[in-house]
Structures are given as C-alpha cells and as structure tokens.
Amino acid sequence: MELLEEHYCFEGRQQRWRHDSAVLNCAMTFSIFLPPANGAAKPPVLYWLSGLTCNDENFTTKAGAQRVAAELGIALVMPDTSPRGDDVADDAGYDLGKGAGFYLNATQQPWARHYRMYDYLRDELPALIQAQFAVSDRCAISGHSMGGHGALIMALKNPGKYVSVSAFAPIVNPTQVPWGQKAFSNYLGEDTATWQEWDSCALMLNSQPEQAIPTLIDQGDGDQFLASQLQPAVLAEAARQTSWPLTLRIQPGYDHSYYFMASFIDDHLRFHAQHLFK
Ligand SMILES: N[C@@H](CCC(=O)N[C@@H](CSC=O)C(=O)NCC(=O)O)C(=O)O
C-alpha cells in the first residue's frame, strides 16, 4: 500500500491510498477518513459508493461528510467506481467502462478480466481495510446514483454484512432503464435473466424477511434523471410487498448533484450511527 495524500480534518485524518488489487488485476486508489481516536474503541465503517464519472475523491471533496463523521466516530471508506489503468477496457461513453463499473462482476469480453467491482467490494477491500486500519468490523453502506444501486445490491446480496444501507438518487431498477440496460448488456450479455441478480428491485422481491435491514433513500424531485433512470417508487413498491423497512424521502427542489448530497449527508450519517453503535 502506498499513501498518496494525508490531511488533518476535523481532528481526524483524510487519507488517499494506492494498492494492487488481485481481484481487479490493476492498481486501485481509495480514500479513507479516520475519525479522531476515542480511547480504545475502534470506529465502525461506512462504505460510500460514488456514481458515474466519479472516483474516490468526489465524495471526499464535495459531500462535507467529515465533520459529522468525526463527531459520531465513524470511519468513511470511499473506493473508486471501476478498475483503472491503460490495459483496462473502456468505452467512449461516460456511462460504460472506466468510472462506470456498476459494482458487478462482468462475464463478457472485453470487460471480464478487470471489471469485478462486486468481488472487490465484498471481499478484497474490506479485508484490506480491516488488516491495515484500526477500525471495527461493524459496517454500513451508502452511495449515489450508480453507487446507490451498488449500495443496495451489496446489502441485498449479503445479508448480515451491513447493519444499514442508504442511498441518494439510486438507480433502483437498472434492468429497466437506459443506464442499466447499456451497462448490463455489455458487462453481462444479452441474456436478461442474468441481469436480475444485479437489480435491487428484483433482489428485494426475492428477499426473506430476516434479511431486511433499515434502509433510507433520499431523492430530489428536481433531479434531471428521476423519470428516465431512477424511479425510486418501483423500489418503494417492492419494499411495500416484502415489508422491507425502507424510508423514501422526496426532497423538493433538489437535483442530482453533490449539492443535494451535502444537504442531507448528516441525516444519513446519523441514521447509520443509530445502527452501527447499537
Ligand atoms: N456527465 C453526465 C452525467 C454524469 C453525472 O451526473 N455523474 C454523477 C453521477 S450520475 C449516476 O451515477 C456524479 O456524481 N458526477 C460527479 C460529480 O462530482 O458531480 C451527463 O452530462 O449527463
């Protein structure tokens, strides 16, 4: 591991690291915020998954999460959104390839060699975080847009791993919207049956009651992608059918940007703290 940057921040430390990922077959960067020490108690971790075109620094520099994370004693881990490097397949569009890994395991060429963000987030990165930093193994997950989809599928596919999940403007039903259909047809192929295991609405409808964890979603009604790509009401209906504990808040006037997330990130941190410190 190579430390790329370190800054003192709200009496904690904001760091950026590079490491070699065996799962992704490339070097990866991630950012981490370590809150101020609280005696011998190790902080729990909130994983944050960013959206299309992002890397680990969008959330770090724009969301303003560190002040309340420091107050609550929560470590924040921000992975990148795709594998990186000159030999990693890419696309000219912003919504496929680098910066658009969709947090799944690709099965199709030319993507399958590197695009295994699901395995990276489920296994390799948490093991590295546990081994290298003084944090507890209690964790929650959150994300934005493509990263909101990522947070929801990570939680739905891994019962017991996260104590809570939240999202801002998530792509809840990627099998039915253009961003998801473009990504899934490239990464997973044309057999749409294989897409279902990466769709939070399908996963929730197939979930068991004991898997359910507290879930918070914020969605701005001024979001330019709301009708075409996001449609959180579809997940709300799946939650109603399965009695999944989902709180969906429609926030008047807010768009898809980090200004929206900066406005409500404190609520999400406090929501996760209720469950991380139980
Ligand atoms: N360039 C695209 C839209 C790209 C965009 O809005 N990216 C969002 C995430 S969208 C869903 O995953 C983002 O977080 N951008 C980075 C930022 O710092 O704002 C277009 O023009 O339509």
Judge contact between 118 and 79, C-beta under 8 A.
no
Judge contact between 121 and 103, C-beta under 8 A.
yes
Return averaged pLDDT per consecutive 10 residues of the chain, 278 residues in all. 98 98 98 95 98 98 98 98 98 98 98 98 98 98 99 98 99 98 98 98 97 98 98 98 98 98 98 97
Judge contact between 24 and 116, C-beta under 8 A.
yes
Give 124-139 as a DSSP string.
IHHHHHHHHS---S-E
How far does the centroid of ligand 1 lie from the alpha carbon of residue 254, in Å?
A: 15
Judge contact between 99 and 53, C-beta under 8 A.
yes
How far does the centroid of ligand 1 lie from the alpha carbon of residue 146, in Å?
A: 9
> Is 145 annotated as catalytic?
yes
Catalytic: which of 142, 223, 268, 272?
A: 223
Choose which residue among 53, 78, 171 to substitute to test ligand 1 binding: the one with the highest number of ligand atoms within 8 A of its C-beta: 53
Instruction: Give the model's pLDDT for residue 125.
Output: 98
Query: Helix (H, G, I), strand (E, B), or coil: what is residue 142?
Result: strand
Cross-strand partners of 15: 6, 32
Judge if the beta carbon of residue 52 lies within 6 A of ligand 1: yes
- Give the pTM: 0.98
Residue nearest to atom 2 of ligand 1 (CA): 94
> Is 223 annotated as catalytic?
yes
Q: How many other CB atoms are found less than 10 A from the CB of residue 227?
A: 9
Cross-strand partners of 7: 14
Instruction: Give the model's pLDDT for residue 5.
Output: 98
> Is 200 annotated as catalytic?
no
DSSP state of 176: G
How large is the C-alpha radius of gyration of the chain?
17
Instruction: Give the model's pLDDT for residue 193.
Output: 98
Judge if the beta carbon of residue 229 lies within 6 A of ligand 1: no
ipTM score of complex: 0.94
Query: Helix (H, G, I), strand (E, B), or coil: what is residue 224?
Result: coil
Instruction: Give the model's pLDDT for residue 221.
Output: 98
Q: Compute the CA torsion angle 224, 227, 232, 235 (nearest 10 deg).
A: -150
Catalytic: which of 114, 256, 268, 272?
A: 256
